[in-house]
Structure 1
Amino acid sequence: MTMAFPQTSPERTAARHCPELLGAAPVMTELAPALSLIGERLTRGLAAGLARLSGGEPPIVRAGLPMDATLSSIAGEIEGLAAHSLMGMGASSLPILAIFDGAPVFRLVDRAFGGPGDVPDPLPDGFPLSAELLLSRIEGCVADALTSALAAARAPRPDHADDHRVRPLRRDTSLRQLDPFPASADVLTLSLEIEEPGIVPWSLTLALPTETLEAALAAPQHPVRQRRAASPDPSAEPFASMAMEVTAVLVDMHLGMTRLAGLRPGDVLPVAVARSVPLQVGGRTLASGTIGEIDDRVAVQVTHAF
């Protein structure tokens, strides 16, 4: 008996999915022009905010072109000391990252105290309290300007007035410890250059994951993909009794291969424990705290929970 089998093509037909189920998300080529327009609005708001901060004339603020990036490429472009500020947009605190190079911060602090704008050489490993206070005030200016610029990109609904409200969340000199968003996230960066009379121009960089930018725009032709239903209460069974391994990262240091290969018993490695110790579960930072002691045992006092 002879059986005939249908011939198959070597090329497989691509699967077709219902657009209503997938949702149409903006692509980079659409998000970049939108971010460029937001950048133009942002320059005006930031100039006014910095003028109120310094009590002088508004500086000239210019926005560069949006650039594709990843968390790894952002980290690779940072040289020396920098302050990384994580901000959250809306009730869900969608992440926005602001990066301030260390040298301009020290220059601004020196000017604020009547100096010529000197920068320590070499730069220290961290920022003094005066610089931290200045960074907090600049963060507030950036957050307010972002709120106005993002809100202007789309008229907010009356019942979603805080959709575009941007708030500073936390800041760290280590981008790895800050852990602002997943390393695989698609990101657009926007550089802002600030020029003031008698001061060397300085700049800051904003990094917005595409998820944040999509939510900010929420264009009718590109509806935001529906989020999953809220997760069950972690304090209820069966989740409440699950044991989770929590890691406190006391030291984050780098050793060259030669130094690592030459380690011997008795060698001393000088380390500095960070003031803010991240608490991680599965590689994700859930809280941070400070090191202390209780009942003759080392303990961590939680100062921030995310």
Structure 2
Amino acid sequence: MTDATSSLSGEEVDALMTGLGEHDAADPSGEVAKPYAFGNTSLRPMTALPALERMGERLARKLRDVIEPFARAKPKVIAETIAIRRFESWRAEQPEFMSLSLYSLRPMKGGVLIAIEPDFINRLVDTFYGGSGAKRAGKQKEFTATEERLVGRLTESLIAAVAGVWSEVKPVQAQLNSRETNTAFASLVRDEEPVAIARFTITPPLQSVPATIDILYPVSSLRAVEVELTANLHDDGGIASRHWRERMGSALSDVRLEARSVLARPNISVAELLQLKPGDVIPISVPALVPLLVAGRPVALGKIGDQDGRAALQIEKIEGSLKHE
């Protein structure tokens, strides 16, 4: 045996390499190893995505009112499906020049990024001053002073709408952190971190080309309030909830329940019960008002009478518990 501090001889190295070459690289179980690229695995799903979708629908209605004064007409705004992607992936698809406004929603952690296409800004300025909203020829590299002012007014109105929708979940206050025109300087999160992208497609009536506005939230910030978002989803009193209640009420209105009335409840002994025979008379006392029972539950009081030759009950009083439901 060689000393632990000595090096292997040439024969020993050859034997070692030969032995390694005789073994198959595949797993003994027959399974072949698959390549793995770090950073490309699917992102952990968020249980609060449906709540974000609901918030996006409400925000789309608010955005119509925000954009209308600039577009001189009420635009069509559609909330796209929320997408979860890495920030670097979203940034790679954006043009080199665009409007980027970074806000914070205190006390939430992280920030919110509002991204607007420069062509949309240019067309809004044109329509605001009485133009047709035609697209500017050539590639834009910077905003004019007028466009800068419009960007400020528009994004302030947009973030106010965002804060208003978020306040239904958690009270927040918006604060501007910075404005950029190059995505390379938009430091919302690190490149590899995931973001939730709420995209809105805007089509003003006077403009044939639709535009998009992206609102980005760091997923890490959303996970911190995921419980509140999920609770908001299950306790939503919005339009969808009202429609559900109306449909449920319409369906339940056709359900039939057994209704009956009790005229009297006489008491007899066991001995009298055992001696009963045809022709016996049991005296009873009928009260002035008898109960109407539906599914075994008293819902009203009424008087016994007849209508068209049939016994009938005339309702005199509705039970108080039924009135409150």
* Same fold? TM cut 0.5: yes
2:201 is the counterpart of 1:185: no
Distance 1:79 1:132 in 2: 18
2:246 is the counterpart of 1:213: no
Identify the residue that residue 52 of structure 2 maps to in structure 1: 35
Distance 2:52 2:230 in 1: 17
Aligned length, in residue pairs:
188
CA contact (8 A) 1:81 1:123 kept: no
Amino acid at match of 2:117: D
RMSD, aligned α-carbons: 2.5
Deviations 1:10-29 (A, max 9, x none): xxxxxxxxxxxxxxxx9524
**What TM-score, normalized to structure 2?**
0.52
Deviations 1:183-208 (A, max 9, x none): 23221111101222212332211111
Gaps of 5+ in 2: 1-42, 232-325
Among residues 61, 77, 96, which one is paired with 2:112 in the alignment? 96
2:176 is the counterpart of 1:168: yes
SS at match of 1:62: strand
Amino acid at match of 2:76: I
Give the CA deviation at 1:87.
1.3
2:89 is the counterpart of 1:81: no
Overall identity of the aligned pairs, in % = 20
SS at match of 1:94: coil
Amino acid at match of 1:42: L
Deviations 1:161-186 (A, max 9, x none): xx422233211111222312222322
Q: Against the structure 1 CA distance between its residues 83 and 221, is the aligned structure 2 distance closer, same or farther, given a 3 Å change threshold?
A: closer
SS at match of 1:219: helix
CA contact (8 A) 2:74 2:205 kept: no
Distance 1:194 1:181 in 2: 26
Gaps of 5+ in 1: 1-25, 157-162, 223-306
SS at match of 1:42: helix
Among residues 139, 144, 149, which one is paired with 2:165 in the alignment? 149
Larger radius of gyration: 2
CA contact (8 A) 2:75 2:203 kept: yes
CA contact (8 A) 2:47 2:226 kept: no
2:149 is the counterpart of 1:140: no
SS at match of 1:30: coil
- Richer in helix (by share): 2
Give the CA deviation at 1:143.
0.5
Deviations 1:120-174 (A, max 9, x none): 332232111111111111101211111111122x2x4xxxxxx422233211111
Distance 1:220 1:131 in 2: 36
Q: Within 5 Å, give how 1:1-306 maps onto structure 2.
A: 28-51=45-68, 53-54=69-70, 56-91=72-107, 94-152=110-168, 154=169, 156=170, 163-200=171-208, 201-219=210-228
Q: Against the structure 1 CA distance between its residues 80 and 185, is the aligned structure 2 distance closer, same or farther, given a 3 Å change threshold?
A: closer
Distance 2:111 2:51 in 1: 18
Give the CA deviation at 1:37.
1.2
Distance 1:167 1:69 in 2: 25
CA contact (8 A) 2:94 2:183 kept: no
CA contact (8 A) 2:195 2:216 kept: yes
CA contact (8 A) 2:200 2:213 kept: yes
CA contact (8 A) 1:45 1:148 kept: no
Distance 1:126 1:30 in 2: 40
Amino acid at match of 1:180: L
CA contact (8 A) 2:108 2:221 kept: no
Q: Against the structure 1 CA distance between its residues 87 and 135, is the aligned structure 2 distance closer, same or farther, given a 3 Å change threshold?
A: same
SS at match of 1:199: coil
Give the CA deviation at 1:105.
1.3
Distance 2:214 2:85 in 1: 12
Amino acid at match of 2:60: T
Distance 2:101 2:193 in 1: 18
